Amino acid sequence: MSDSAPQSEPRGDLAEGEALPNSKLRLAAIAATAIALLALSMPFVWQDHVDAQPPSADAIAPFASHDATPASFEEGAACMADAKPANLNFTMKDLDGKDVALSSYKGKVVLLNFWATWCGPCKAEIPMFVEFQKQYEGKGFTVVGYSVDDEAPKARAFASEFKMNYPILLGLGREDVQEAFGPMWGIPVSVIIDRNGKVCQKHVGLPSKGELEKEIKALL
């Protein structure tokens, strides 16, 4: 009886000289696919004036990270227990070239949205903001759109096309404002500020409508 180890039979479904598939390669392929799918719903990384077509609501799954964790909330509270004051000591131009102080919105519930005309996910969430403005403006709420790097003519045309019914401020060259509410590695970013000027929530990416509306109503 021979002590030599038995020889493995060649795979019948492989051509001569073809290597067996590597398990690490299979895992890498699976991981790459997962990352690609996740990237569809991630916020856009900063870039300059790259036009994007608005995706449909079905094309992008809601995705958002935010600063609030369950431990950050007191039971029954609408705002984080450790909520910090928003820096509202900034004055910017609106679409008509008028100066607007962020502090002028104190006393209202504010959804401060950082966006740009070239940002696809930003375009997808605008109809939701338009609806919120119509529904809750009379209750002391406003959306404030902060265009991060668009010049006035382009932002004005965009606002008209998308029927944006809320104030739009121009942030071109105003990195100080972005830093005050940052860090921001991509957009959209939505900051919810209560009537006392505290940052209650900060969403990075595309939040779900239900989640955002629930947070707004809790502060009204």
Note whether 145 and 111 are within 8 A (CB): no
Long-range contacts of 170-173 (CB under 8 A, 24+ apart): 170/92, 170/93, 170/94, 170/95, 171/92, 171/114, 171/146, 171/147, 172/147, 172/148
**Confidence (pLDDT) at 138:** 97
**Confidence (pLDDT) at 2:** 47
Segment 193-218, tens digit of pLDDT: 999 999 999 999 998 999 999 999 99
Segment 171-181, tens digit of pLDDT: 999 999 999 99
Segment 56-93, tens digit of pLDDT: 444 444 444 555 444 444 444 578 778 899 999 999 99
Segment 105-142, tens digit of pLDDT: 999 999 999 999 999 999 999 999 999 999 999 999 99
